[in-house]
Amino acid sequence: MITFQDVTIKYDDFTAVKNLNFEVKDGEFFTFLGPSGCGKTTTLRSLVGLIQPTSGEIYLDDKDITNLPTEKRDIKMVFQSYALFPTMTVYENIAFGLKVKKVEKAMIKQKVADIAKKVDLAAEQLAKKVSELSGGQQQRVAIARALVNQPNILVLDEPLSNLDAKLRVQLRNELKSLQKNFGITTVYVTHDQEEALTLSDRIAVFNKGEIEQIGTPEEIYEQSNSEFVCNFIGENNNITKLVTNHPERFDRLNLEENNAFYSRIEKLKISLFGQTYPLVEDELSFTGKIIDSEYYGIYTKYSIKVEDTVVRAVLKEKLSLGTDQNEKVQVILSQQHILQYK
Ligand SMILES: Nc1ncnc2c1ncn2[C@@H]1O[C@H](COP(=O)(O)OP(=O)(O)OP(=O)(O)O)[C@@H](O)[C@H]1O
Ligand SMILES: [Mg+2]
């Protein structure tokens, strides 16, 4: 288990991360999610020992590793900037750690071939120099180099950022299954919410050097505990104005304590005007006008003007709209799905 206790890291006078407290359990896939500059890489660097916290402690199980040199921690890191050996071949790069450990030659060959296949590097690429590879290929070499050592802890800093969408999804699945099969405790950094939601057991959402929320993907998404988290993850409608214009209708919300209200776009329902929609429980219906639609194939996103608020909704089925651009619809909001903040 990894434990961060009150960790603060400063660069001179600038506080990059402040009072970090979290635990990563054995075998867990734990993700740091947050916008650029919020302190994700800084935190990772302190975990692998490339930087010392200004205050606080880092533990591996019960052992205080705060001041332990990097090489004495069994932690492998894939850097945001790969840090490969540019003049060595791909094979040599991947095999490096195994050679240092004096693993038998035939075994190294086998292991490198296996892992290269898993990250989609063709056999002929193994003989190339790293400097001759594309960014995405280099990224895969860096992942292979870390995985081939089967470390207890793997630390990955935006390892998929240079890949095209399809390869990213493929490698993401591969990473997840390798991690689960080997039981590697993984600390992963990304600013991509989809990656965080699909890969992680738990997520820590960073904002300006502090952790705003730690939770499972479902908790982070369904019960975002701050306006920042709610806005950073998922697609939202800010419905504050609509709510405050109709306080008597939104009887299930806490209007005295809160003054910011959001609804996730997939929680809105739409019913064509004139069709009856049987409202249930805490649902409310508002009249709106469709002002725009975007067709994505598996779903369609609609922009609807409700009073002076434009809300977006995502529907699996494309609405069979008439030719009139400003078609009237009913927008149905379920109060239990409204996120509310101070
Ligand atoms: N060596 C350094 N010296 C001074 N300030 C630094 C140094 N490294 C990082 N910082 C600052 O610390 C803050 C956090 O940086 P960090 O690299 O941890 O962010 P990040 O969350 O990894 O961002 P990104 O998503 O862009 O990689 C930033 O404001 C950055 O400018
Ligand atoms: Mg970074």
Q: Give the CA dihedral 49, 229, 174, 46, nearest 10 degrees.
A: 0
Nearest atom in ligand 1 to 38's CA: 21
CATH for 2-232 is 3.40.50.300
The ligand placed nearest to the CA atom of residue 43 is 1
Confidence at residue 276, expressed as pLDDT on a 0 to 100 scale: 82
Report how far ligand 2's centroid is from the alpha carbon of 40 (Å). 6
Which residue, judged by its Cα, is nearest atom 19 of ligand 1? 37
Give the pLDDT confidence score for residue 324 in this predicted structure.
Answer: 59
Q: Which of 19-33, 36-50, 69-83 has the lowest mean pLDDT?
A: 69-83
What Cα–Cα distance (Å) separates residue 114 from each residue in 9, 107, 149, 300? 39, 11, 12, 41
Question: What average pLDDT score do residues 74-79 get?
Answer: 78
The string over 124-161, giving b where at least 16 C-beta atoms fall within 10 Å of a residue's C-beta and e elsewhere, is ebbebebeebeebbbbbbbbbbbbbbbbbbbbbbbbbb
Ligand 1: lining residues by beta carbon, under 6 Å: 11, 14, 16, 34, 36-42, 80, 191
Between 251 and 162, residue with greater pLDDT: 251
What's the topology of domain 236-341?
Answer: OB fold (Dihydrolipoamide Acetyltransferase, E2P) (2.40.50)
Take atom 27 of ligand 1 and give the residue whose Cα is closest. 36
Domain ranges within the chain, ordered by starting residue: 2-232, 236-341
- Does residue 216 sit in helix, strand or coil? coil
State the pLDDT at residue 231: 94
Lowest-confidence range among 16-20, 128-132, 151-155, 337-341? 151-155
Residue nearest to atom 29 of ligand 1 (CA): 37
Give pLDDT tens digits for 24-34.
999 999 999 99
The ligand placed nearest to the CA atom of residue 11 is: 1
Worst-scoring range by mean pLDDT, 148-162, 217-231, 263-277, 320-334?
320-334
Q: Whose CA is nearest to atom 14 of ligand 1?
A: 39
The residue assigned the tokens 């199980």 is: 61
Q: What is the mean pLDDT of the chain?
A: 92
Res 185 pLDDT > 70: yes
236-341 shares the fold of 2-232: no
Higher pLDDT pick, 139 / 39 = 39
Whether 216 shows a pLDDT value over 90: the answer reads yes
Higher pLDDT, 74 or 213: 213
Half-sphere exposure of 203 (CA within 13 A, CB side): 30
Which of these ranges, 77-91, 236-250, 327-341, has the smallest mean pLDDT? 77-91
- The residue whose CA has the least distance to atom 28 of ligand 1 is 37
Concatenating the DSSP letter of every residue in 155-209 gives: EEESTTTTS-HHHHHHHHHHHHHHHHHHT-EEEEEES-HHHHHHH-SEEEEEETT
Residues 247-261 have a mean pLDDT of: 96
Q: Confirm if 341 and 226 have CB atoms less than 8 A apart.
A: yes
pLDDT at 16 over 70: yes
Among all bound ligands, the one having the nearest atom to the CA of 39 is: 1
The pLDDT value given to residue 172: 87
